Amino acid sequence: MEAKKRGIIYVISDSLGETGELVAKAGKIQFNNSISEIKRFPFVLETEQIDEILYEAKDENSVVIFTLVIPAMKKYIMDKCKEYNIPAVDVLGPVIEALSNLTHREPLFEAGLNRRLDADYFKKVEAIEFAVKYDDGKDSRGIRKADVVLLGISRTSKTPLSMYLAHKNIKVANIPLVPEVDPPKELFEGIKGTIIGLTNDPDKLNSIRQERLKALGLDYTATYANMERILNELDYAEKLFHKLRCPVINVSTKAIEETASIILSIIREEESN
């Protein structure tokens, strides 16, 4: 009989994810080598991020441990885990409910209240606001102001990466690449920030896009998920990256924090030169 794959714990949080990871580690130690790893996904603030994480988790022997406080996000992740038949554990839910019953008050339902309101925190807020303002190419003027400019076709983790780096006090603008649309002229004007190209494997992009169309209730055969279209987009992006001579990261096998770590290393290396 084939041995079952070792388990993977997915820790999902709308803050740093430290609480969920500590709980996961405390549980993991009771099972020797039956659990292969703990994957932590901090700053999950959009349902789209949950979609990407669970799309990976559903093909693993996995369990999800989450510390999300916003009710709509909690319901979404529970429903999605049920759909994919992934066991899910709400770490904070029972505690918040017990305290609400004790105090006869409703909780604030605000993420990240345990962080101190210090100067570093306000820098984070500024960087987060910057990431939101210049997300998905909303305003190309952000390219001149950004510390990092992320370029990539659809479903290359631009937005979650922007938010993760923002929590490292880095101002990020991200630009979607579409063959029919010329890239912003600001990219070629000697900007101060670091340009990073993001790419993905075509087969994974095809699967992710089909899943996205399914979630939106759209036909999975739409052009968006067509392999020929995906290859065309990847070719267009690759040519632009070559023209800009920027570092390129393939996100297909990397967690958000792993990709972010590579970007931070690139920034440090540039600053030291």
Map residue 141 onto helix, strand or coil.
Answer: coil
Q: Report whether 47 belongs to an annotated binding site.
A: no
Map residue 256 onto helix, strand or coil.
Answer: helix
Q: Report whether 249 belongs to an annotated binding site.
A: no
Please list the alpha-helical segments (H only) found in the chain: 18-28, 47-57, 71-84, 93-103, 119-133, 142-145, 158-166, 202-215, 227-244, 256-272
Q: Report whether 105 belongs to an annotated binding site.
A: no
Edge to edge, the sheet with strand 7-13 lists 35-41, 7-13, 62-67, 88-90
- Rounded to a whole number of angstroms, the CA Rg of the chain reads 20
Q: Report whether 229 belongs to an annotated binding site.
A: no
Q: Report whether 36 belongs to an annotated binding site.
A: no
Record the tokens describing residue 45, joined without a space.
């603030």
Q: Under 8 Å CB-to-CB from 189, ≥6 apart: which residues?
A: 144
| Spatial separation of the C-alpha atoms in residues 14 and 66, rounded to whole Å | 9
Q: Report whether 158 belongs to an annotated binding site.
A: yes
User: 14 near 43, Cβ under 8 Å?
Assistant: yes
Phi, psi of 227 (to 5 degrees): -60, -40
Helix 71-84 with 47-57: angle, nearest 10 deg? 20
Query: What residues form the annotated binding site?
Result: 152-159
Query: What residues form the annotated binding site for ADP?
Result: 152-159
